[in-house]
Amino acid sequence: MMAQTWTFDQLAKLRHYRPNLVDQTLSEILTRQSELRWLLVTGAYLDGEINLGKAAELLGLHRLELQKRFLMQGIPLRLGSETPEEAKAETDAIMNWNCSAEENSLQ
């Protein structure tokens, strides 16, 4: 079945009533579809919806590795936080990355 425009509209409506169902399903799709995950995250970064740290977290990359990939692909970098909320989000993303790296090294 090919997704139609109405499908996306209905997903947005359904998310209002059943957010866990929609979020879990989208998370499963993005886990299996790395190209789609890359395109969505990169698009959100380019649109200014997320910062570099959050993009790296969502892609499972270290911030510096993502920065290098973006440069290699000609994707402009937005360095530094523009708002206090962005600064906190970047700090949280780095802390989450560090915790994940520590957990993985203990296993």
Residue 104: per-residue pLDDT: 72
Residue 2 covered by a domain: no
| pTM of the model as a whole | 0.66
Separation CA 85–CA 50 (nearest Å): 11
pLDDT range class, residue 87, cuts 50, 70, 90: confident
Residue 88 covered by a domain: yes
Encode pLDDT of 6-62 as tens digits.
998 999 999 999 999 999 999 999 999 999 999 999 999 999 999 999 999 999 999
Residue 40 covered by a domain: yes
Report the first-to-last Cα separation within the chain, whole angstroms: 42
Helix (H) or strand (E) holding 91: helix 84-106
Residue 9 covered by a domain: no
Q: Is the pLDDT of residue 2 over 80?
A: no
* CA dist list (Å): 22 to 9, 11, 14, 61, 101: 12, 7, 7, 25, 29
Residue of higher predicted confidence among 20 and 107: 20
Separation CA 50–CA 8 (nearest Å): 21
Total tally of structural domains belonging to the chain: 1
